[in-house]
Structures are given as structure tokens and as C-alpha cells.
Amino acid sequence: MKVNAHKTIALVAHDNKKFLLIEWLKKNLDKMKGHQFYATGTTGKTIINEIGLEVKLLHSGPLGGDQQIGAKIAEGEIDMLIFFLDPLEAMPHDSDVKALIRLSSVWNIPVACNEATADFLISSPNFGNEYERTLPDFKSYKQRNIPK
């Protein structure tokens, strides 16, 4: 699957990591120009208010925003996920977060769960160029024999 030079990036951050994501985006604003963004509700509103970056808002994570992003990943609409997780805080929607990370793996999209990984992703030559992303072959999975 061809991924354009201008990526569609999903941005998510747990409450204790929203400020870190905002600071990271400010630091990398020049690299972010020209890309399209989706974000879960609270994260997206914070980005819009603090930076003015154009973001398509989805629901808040606990209200289904993580699942909306997951659906967009499965439909091939998201090229990259930047999700600043808070590993020290229990989340009421932890199963949604795990499902989102799992879908990213299933559909072979790059994921950054912290600042260092996000730095590596946007430093890659693939970030600003076209990229041929290998899609998994699910033919045998889809054609499996399901007992009646």
C-alpha cells in the first residue's frame, strides 16, 4: 500500500501526557506542516487551543475515540499513530487502548508510545517521503473454515 509523503497521523495522549505531547508538537511543528491529523477529543482540543494545529476531532478516548481511530486504521485512513501513554496510571478504557495498539500492529502502521520513539519516527527518511507499506495477507484468515 502506497503511503503518501503527506501522512495522516493520529494523535492521542493520556491526561498526564497531554502537556508532553503539546511540547513535543511545538518542538517539531516545522516537520508537522503539510500532514493531516486526527485526535481524540480532549487531546485534539488541547492541541488546537495550545498550538492552533488543524486537527480533525473524534470522541474522547473513553467515549469511543480510541475505537474511532482503530476503525480508521483498519480502513487504511491512518498512516501513523502517536500515542503518548501513561504507563503509571490505570485507565478505565485500558482495553480500548490495547485494541488500538493491536490494530496498529495488525495493519502494520508505525506507532510511537513515547517521545523518544516519536522522535525516531519523524527523523526517518520515510516520514517526509512516499513509502510502500506492506499489508498483511489475510486471505487464509478470511477463508478459514468456521465450524457451524
Write the CATH number for 133: 3.40.50.1380
Residue 147 lies in a domain: no
Cα separation, 43 vs 14, in Å, equals 8
Cα separation, 83 vs 73, in Å, equals 14
Cα separation, 20 vs 14, in Å, equals 10
Residue 78 lies in a domain: yes
Domains of the chain: total: 1
Cα separation, 127 vs 147, in Å, equals 44
> Range of 6's domain?
2-142
Among residues 66, 86, 96, 137, which one is catalytic? 66
Contact present, 13 and 21 (Cβ < 8 Å): yes
Residue 148 lies in a domain: no
119 an active-site residue?
A: no
Mind listing the pLDDT tens digit of every residue in the chain (148 residues)? Answer: 899 999 999 999 999 999 999 999 999 999 999 999 999 999 999 999 999 999 999 999 888 999 999 999 999 999 999 999 988 877 666 788 889 999 999 999 999 999 999 999 999 999 999 999 998 887 777 777 676 6
Residue 67 lies in a domain: yes
